[in-house]
Amino acid sequence: MWHLHGFDVAILITYVALRSVYIIRNVRYDCLLIKTLDQSMTSSSSSFSSKRQDELQPEHPCDCDLSSRVKTSRTPDNYGRKFRVCQNLLNGKSPSCKFWQWLDEDEGRKDGRRHYMMKPEESYNLTLKNCTLENEINICRMKIEQEKNNNKQELDKVNWKLFTHRLALIVLFLLYVKMLL
């Protein structure tokens, strides 16, 4: 019969979770094929749109009196939220005034995040990553607990040896005193 310890159970849970991730990655979700976790994280790491769908806004110039560009954020926290930037900042030209402003702040909304929803596959991938990280945390906690128990057992062994050596020393001392009398 097999005996599973806490660490073995955690490994088994992680294995099952990873196998189900492999199966779920190929399922269609809201008519979109779910991206793998790595693809999602690399595609959302940039706040600038990779497509040239931005527009010039001459009525809202930047600090260097050029027309500002309107871009769309692609980060998970602000997905779909529009912002203005200096043209030179995006082109890498020098000098840039580093002008940057959320578009919804002009409209009187200070917290524009609630108006933008994350893409379903990004939400799924973040949930999946969260579950994976929770499993890793649980595995680390079990490893720490196991190491703590091993250290306690080792300390008990050392304390027992110390006690027996002290007891032997006391007995030898008493025998020596008895021989002298």
SS3 112: coil
**Predicted model pTM:** 0.34
The mean predicted confidence, pLDDT, of the chain is 71
What does the buried/exposed string (b/e) look like for 143-153 if buried means 16 or more CB atoms within 10 Å of the residue's CB? Answer: eeeeeeeeeee
* Residue 40 reports pLDDT greater than 70: no
Task: State the DSSP code for 147.
Answer: H
- ∠ CA 43-44-50, nearest 5°, is 65
Tokens for 109, please give them: 């909304």
pLDDT tens digits, 81-93: 888 888 777 666 6
What distances in angstroms separate CA 45 from CA 33, 49, 85, one per listed residue?
A: 20, 11, 18
Of 25, 6, 75, the C-alpha closest to 46 is 75
**Contact assessment for residue 69 and residue 85, using Cβ atoms and an 8 Å cutoff:** yes
Q: Which carries the bigger pLDDT value, residue 36 or residue 69?
A: 69
The pLDDT, as a whole number, for residue 64 is 78
* Residue 62 reports pLDDT greater than 70: yes
pLDDT tens digits, 115-149: 456 677 777 888 888 889 999 999 999 999 999 99
